[in-house]
Structure 1
Amino acid sequence: MSEAILYTGNAFSVADGKGRFVLPLEMRRQVKLSSSGETTLYLSVHGGNPCATGFGESHMRFLFNEVEELDREARAAGRDYNKDLELERRLGTIEPVNFDEGGRFAMHPDIKDEYHITDAVFFYGVGRYIQIWKPETLVDSPDRPELIRNKVRRWLDQRAAGGGK
């Protein structure tokens, strides 16, 4: 796949009785498109935000190709570049999980533990990947857009009042 898959939109998911979350329909379609129809969501850590990331196979290939390009540029400029370490950083934390036709998937336990995810997540499409936030963490992140923080805050307030799942 040469064309980038771009994820947009946002949605909440509350874990079901088996602890599974539901990948939103449009994001699910994009992941499958990115992965030749496969129902694998690749989860990883975010390099700069306290959230997980999710994406399809094409983004994983993009990450690899980007490291290859950075390595070529460094060699051409005579700069040191640790290609292996960068590959470890970008690809070594990726955990594949399968989702069913309804979008249900079990969050990888290492990812859940890293971000203290328990029973709810907020999916946030931001281009080449999806950010997956513990809602309370997103609200407490001042660098996030106020519109999104307010949306998540309202959802948390409704949930606390018994109006949300």
Structure 2
Amino acid sequence: MSDIILYTGNACIAADGKGRFVLPLEMRRQVKLSSAGENKLYLSLHIENGCATGFGESHRSFLFAEVEALEREARAADRPFNGDLERELRLGMIEEATFDEGGRFALSADIKEEIGIKDTAFFYGVGRYFQIWKPEALVESADRPALIRNKVRRWLDQRAAEKR
């Protein structure tokens, strides 16, 4: 297992008839690589961006190690640091999911409700993890790159036209 797994790429995905989403192929490969060959996916919330995050075991371990390093630095500098709270913020919302060989997995009802996802999601690789967005929310997010916002808007427009 490599120490650093980087997620790139993006895709708009509609849920199947059972409400499951398909993890894009390259992201699926990276999750498996990160999770020692297992189809084990970790999901959490990105509070600042209003989206969910997905990643494999290596990033979950990185988050824990990062808090440990911050705690050591604070102790060495004689600064206050609440390691328990930081672990709670970074690790406490992580949920484990599995995906089948076709990449199908279920987002928990809690995560779907928090970010407003119903039957479509946008997967966006951003480095050590990927983001999962309600497509309309990403389009409205002025902080996201225009290229990505426009791609998602076009996909939503095309999907709406197909439903007519």
Q: TM-score, normalised by structure 2?
A: 0.97
Q: Residue type matched to 1:41 in 2?
A: L
User: What are the residue-to-residue correspondences of 1:86-165 with 2, within 5 Å?
Assistant: 86-162=86-162
* SS of structure 1 residue aligned to 2:124: strand
Please state how far the C-alpha of 1:12 moved relative to its aligned partner. 1.2
1:7 aligns with 2:27: no
* SS of structure 2 residue aligned to 1:154: helix
Work out the CA distance in 1 between the residues paired with 2:42 and 2:98.
9
The unaligned stretches of length 5 or more in structure 1 are: none
* SS of structure 1 residue aligned to 2:21: strand
Work out the CA distance in 1 between the residues paired with 2:2 and 2:157.
42
Work out the CA distance in 2 between the residues paired with 1:60 and 1:70.
16
Q: Which residue is equivalent to 1:30?
A: 30
User: What are the residue-to-residue correspondences of 1:48-63 with 2, within 5 Å?
Assistant: 48-63=48-63
* SS of structure 1 residue aligned to 2:96: strand
Q: Residue type matched to 1:44 in 2?
A: S
Work out the CA distance in 1 between the residues paired with 2:148 and 2:12.
12
Which consecutive aligned stretches of 4+ in structure 1 deviate over 2 angstroms post-superposition?
Answer: none
Q: Which residue is equivalent to 2:68?
A: 68
Identity value in percent: 74
Work out the CA distance in 2 between the residues paired with 1:103 and 1:86.
32
Work out the CA distance in 1 between the residues paired with 2:2 and 2:54.
19
Please state how far the C-alpha of 1:2 moved relative to its aligned partner. 5.0
* SS of structure 2 residue aligned to 1:155: helix
CA distance 1:139–1:128, shift in 2 (3 Å): same
Work out the CA distance in 2 between the residues paired with 1:2 and 1:103.
21
Q: Residue type matched to 1:96 in 2?
A: E
Q: TM-score, normalised by structure 1?
A: 0.97
Work out the CA distance in 1 between the residues paired with 2:133 and 2:47.
14
Work out the CA distance in 1 between the residues paired with 2:156 and 2:70.
41
